A = this chain, B = another copy of it.
Amino acid sequence: MLAPMANRAVTMEDVAARAGVSRALVSIVFRGAPGAAESTRQRVLAAARELDYQPDTRASRLGRSRTRTRTLGVVFGVGHDFHGDVIDAIYASAGPADYEVVLSGVTRHRSEDVAVRTLLAEKCEALLLLGSGLPAKEMVRLAVTVPVVSLLRPVRAAGVDVVRTDDAGGLAQAVAHLGELGHRRIAHLDGGRNAGAAERRRGFRTAVRRLGVEAEGVELAGGLTEEDGAAAALELLALPGPRPTAVTAFNDRCALGVMDVVRRHGVRVPEDLSVVGFDDIEQAAYRHVSLTTIRQDVEALGAAAIERVRARLDAGDESTRDVVVPPTLVARESTARLDIGP
């Protein structure tokens, strides 16, 4: 109540007047900057509360632009559940580092290009791209103007930092796990051109080789979605010769698709076929699913991304880094020891 003026938003000016100090002092208090006596600080905060003052971020960012805006732009796939987890981690790390986060979503009708442009128009100081599909050339172009971190997608682009999971290592863990359970004939459902797919494929091959001479890796086309997994399952079932006894899928969703389809063809999981996913999305942990998978360390990914931004912006680091975060195997019930003989 006591609106300072009819129907006009409360500004710092109003708070200052009420607290009996200057506008600058209110600014100091709200920014948490040094130079305000504790007693005054309390008085200002009280005044703000009484007037229900809401600081204006637009004005704040604009005012700051002479020095630093401390704003981070994040491009992500709207509705992409794993991106959600990463964003969560980014929020968590950005706050303590005193960075604001602005989201820009990619949807069917809103391209990554538009998403990026919007963020640049907001004068973000750095860009975090989640699983970006932008061509490396384009990223390089962007990186000239503003620090760019490619999350989840490895790119070799000058000036573009990469923060990603050790995809190859993840697959190595998956295959090793299956190896220990006695599996030797293992299929990999490939991710094609998707972020991380090449690395995972490489990890798969190396790990199978390491399993010994009797081990054999079979590669099938997979993909991002349950549908891709379902298609791969049909291929798997139609394979000539002895059927692989285990499968590593490009990701959890793909794994879910495989399990669904093979089960409907009378193949039991894990008795007849062991399945390993990648990501550890929420569904993987559901009791009726209980998918063994390679968990990406989302918190570490988010923290590393922020760390790169700080290194460049706050510490003046000019080097281009490729930060690789180790994943962990989460053994659940979609994998089992291979029964030799019936």
Contact = CB atoms under 8 A, between A and B. Distances in A.
A46 interface: no
Contacts of A108: 88
Interface string A65-82: 100000000001111111
A227 B286 contact: yes
Interface in A49-86: 54-59, 61-62, 65, 76-85
A202 interface: no
B288 A257 contact: yes
A151 B235 CA distance: 42
B56 A123 contact: yes
A296 B226 CA distance: 22
Contact of A57 (B107, B122, B227): B122
A30 to B, nearest CB: 11
Contacts of A76: 78
A155 interface: no
B121 A54 contact: yes
B78 A9 contact: no
Interface stretch (A161-169, A181-189, A260-268): A260-268
Contacts of A82: 79
A209 interface: no
A121 B83 contact: no
A28 interface: no
Interface in A212-269: 225-227, 230, 257, 260-261, 263-264
Contact of A84 (B79, B88, B227): B79
A129 to B, nearest CB: 16
Nearest to A257: B288
A87 interface: yes
A288 B227 contact: yes
A176 to B, nearest CB: 29
Interface residues of A, number: 52
B225 A286 contact: yes
Nearest to A56: B123
Interface string A107-120: 11110000001101
Contacts of A59: 62
Given A58-B58, A122-B57, A227-B288, A84 B78 contact: yes
26 contacts: A56-B121, A57-B118, A57-B122, A58-B61, A58-B62, A76-B78, A78-B87, A78-B88, A79-B87, A84-B107, A87-B107, A88-B108, A91-B107, A91-B110, A92-B109, A103-B104, A225-B282, A225-B286, A226-B288, A227-B283, A230-B286, A230-B288, A257-B286, A257-B288, A260-B289, A264-B288
A120 B87 CA distance: 21
Contacts of A81: 79-81
Interface string A98-109: 000001110111
Contact of A58 (B122, B257, B289): B122
A287 interface: yes
A131 to B, nearest CB: 13
Given A78-B88, A109-B88, A226 B61 contact: no
